[in-house]
Chain A
Amino acid sequence: MKILIIEDDLETAAYLSKAFREAGITVDHASDGDSGFFLASENSYDVLVVDRMLPRRDGLSIISELREKGDDTPALILSALGQVDDRVTGLRAGGDDYLTKPYAFSELLARIEILGRRKGGREQETTYRVGDLELDRLSHEVRRAGQQILLQPREYRLLEYLMKNAGQVVTRTMLLEHVWDYHFDPQTNVIDVHISRLRSKIEKDFGEPLLRTVRGAGYMMKAGG
């Protein structure tokens, strides 16, 4: 995977570049809006990471101009502005995801990985399979080893999101955003309890555990197959 980071703070950019490389991702870096726009238009990237406030050119305008040109490379906006409506403006300008500074690198990485794979996404598939776990997106039925598992609607959506991104780390905030449509951070770790309930339904009495906790990051469903 190859990404472009448009970020004016050199220390942050250096830290991010190093961390992404260690995670096996190729990184280009632009330190202002103009060169960022130039690189993004000239090269092909899997994901753009765009700081919202940049010298010479606003991050949002880069994304909206790329979108106008028909370039739909997934873009993640990084911003110190984190209030409800800033997020909405960011996504409206054509951003695909929005992350408020400061953030954990694991959170950024998880989101980049998912954005990068989205091109060949699993949105079209009607059945997700992970090991002997099977989720039918049309009938909303879940089976493991051929045995039907009854889930609450919310548990179903949680599992669907985890299985859609099987093989990827999914963070707690991502789950809150996609399953509950909440964009704030509840102080109690509500997600963990939902996950453990889900686990008890899909893993108890079955052999191999499929849903792994990734320390300091979130959860990961075993890669599909």
Chain B
Amino acid sequence: MSRLRAMLSTTAVRLSALYLGLFALCAVALVFYVTAISEGMQRDRTQDAIANELRIVAGAYRGGGVAGLVRIIERRSRRPGANLYAIAAPTGELIAGNIASLQPGVLDSEGWSPVPFRYERIGERVDEDHRALAQVVFLGNGMRLMVGRDIGEREQVRGLVRQALVMALAIMFVGALAIWFLVGRRALRRIDHMSEASKKILAGDLSQRLPVNGSGDEFDRLSLSLNTMLGRIAQLNEGLRQVSDNIAHDLKTPLTRLRNRAEAALADGGVEAQTEALEQMIADSDQLIRTFNALLMISRVEAGSSTAQMTDVDLSGLALDAADLYEPVAEEEGVKLTAKVEPGIIIRGNRELLAQALSNLIDNAVKYVGDGPDPRIAVTLGRSGNQIRLAVTDNGHGVPANRREDVVKRFVRLDESRSKPGTGLGLSLVQAVAALHGGHLLLDDASPEARDHPGLAATMALPGGK
């Protein structure tokens, strides 16, 4: 029952009910129109026939008087399928013809009877109801002549047409019901398949997909777009799972170290050793806090522009400032840091985030430029087409092409970098900041021709600007 209700409430059913109704209305109107027209035609034909008959009979009257008239009437009355004839005396008594009785008043006026009237034919059963149309002529001596024709056949035809209409409507209705049932059930079955699949997905099986039967109909299209969405969700979910695994690993390690240090200091007992251990522990916790902050920041930046205030940022000034901030550190490490900045580049963005992203890039370069013969870092800012490119390049070992995608991920650090301090989140933040500003982070060889030291070119490609 509920299944039937579900079927009746489908859009397909409602639409076909509407169509059925409209179609039935049209059919009825058409039938009425056709019968009205054909009735008119039949009436004209009947009247023509009567008028013709009347002319013949009148001819006989003019030739042979009343006697001639009666004779021709009697003769014609006896023909099979004869018309209706009556001659009435001035008293109203029917003196010749094939009519036993007439509806009163038919013979009272000359001309066409205004509406079909009832009559009885001689020799027929009284209870049979006949209707006729007739023309009446006054013969001048008080006698009246009536010539008419039964219209029962006409009414029969009309009845038949109407009956056919009812039949047709009934068949249409039954047919529509059958189609509803078949189509509706098919639709319901597909929906049932879809909801079964979604239940499994809800239960956590993100590998499930909604059924697609390849017909390309609306169900297929819906399933396909939902499947694409599921794919994206599964991908995000996978990313999230990886991150939480990473967090578990990368935060557990320093926490364990912290705990071990405390334990060791407690066991050791010496005041000096304990002081040193405590200081080291504070440094460790600071590093942990840094990692937490960086993670939070990345997720907030990734959450989008709604959380970050955008202003006009003087990117040229920002690039020079960052280079200026890091230049002494670089020099101390024996690295030459230069800046080549196109002046006057202003973009809509968040100054703090851009500054932090750039300093992450410079910080990385200083850390990983390595101990080559002439280590150099360049901060460059310029326009390229409709892009603004803010880049930090170095001439260190670079990042192998097959690892570039990885190093941008959270907590991913290349083996050779594990010995250096860092959270493994720097490039993730840079990428998130670039994305927030509608751009992206590109990693490439700085100078591919130098085999040993191709260097890394980390470029934030940002859109347009003013």
Contacts and interface: CB of A to CB of B under 8 A. Distances in A.
Given A83-B307, A194-B328, A188 B363 contact: yes
Nearest to B332: A193
B306 to A, nearest CB: 10
B332 A184 contact: no
A188 B329 contact: yes
Contact of B325 (A83, A100, A182): A182
A85 interface: yes
B37 to A, nearest CB: 81
Contacts of B307: 83, 85
Contacts of A184: 352, 355-356, 359
A180 interface: yes
Nearest to B423: A187
B258 to A, nearest CB: 14
Interface in B255-301: 279, 282, 285-286, 289-290, 293, 296-297, 300
B308 interface: yes
A187 B300 contact: no
Interface of A is mostly: loop
A154 interface: yes
A70 interface: no
Interface in B437-453: none
A85 B331 CA distance: 33
Interface in A72-100: 82-85, 88, 100
| Chain B interface extent, by class | 20 to 34
A74 B423 CA distance: 35
B355 A185 contact: no
Contacts of A196: 328
B77 interface: no
Contact of B421 (A82, A83, A88, A187): A187
A197 interface: yes
Contact of A154 (B282, B324, B329, B355): B324
B350 interface: yes
A152 to B, nearest CB: 8
A102 interface: yes
A82 B325 CA distance: 23
Contacts of B350: 84
A84 B423 CA distance: 20
Interface of B: 279, 282, 285-286, 289-290, 293, 296-297, 300, 307-309, 321, 324-326, 328-329, 331-332, 350, 352-353, 355-356, 359, 363, 366-367, 421-423, 426
Interface of A: 82-85, 88, 100, 102, 104, 154, 180, 182-190, 193-194, 196-197, 216
